[in-house]
Each structure stands twice: as C-alpha cells, then as structure tokens.
Amino acid sequence: MYRQGVIFIILHLTSSTYLRVIFSVEQSALLVKLLVSLWFF
C-alpha cells in the first residue's frame, strides 16, 4: 500500500513537470513566431 502511494506521487510529480515543460516550450515557440513576424513585417 505504501509503495503504491509513493509510485503514485512520483508519477503525479513527473507528469505535472512534463506538462509544464511542454507548456513552456509551446509558449516560447509562440514568442519566437511573434518576434519573427514582427521582424519581417
């Protein structure tokens, strides 16, 4: 029971950090697109 709880917590933490990394990557990609479009137009 205790081991299952630890595994669940680890999975929850890794998945949330994974989603946060994906979100920040998408945000930075949007910023780069915005800067490029401002630069060229």
The answer to whether residue 19 scores a pLDDT higher than 90 is no
The answer to whether residue 1 scores a pLDDT higher than 70 is no
pLDDT confidence band for 17 (50 / 70 / 90): confident
Q: Write down the pLDDT at residue 40.
A: 81
DSSP state of 1: -
- Alpha-helical segments (H) within 1-41: 2-40
Amino acid at 35: L
Single out the residue of 5, 24, 3 nearest to residue 13, CA to CA: 5
> Averaged over 15-33, what is the pLDDT?
89
Question: Which single residue is written with the structure tokens 């299952």?
Answer: 4
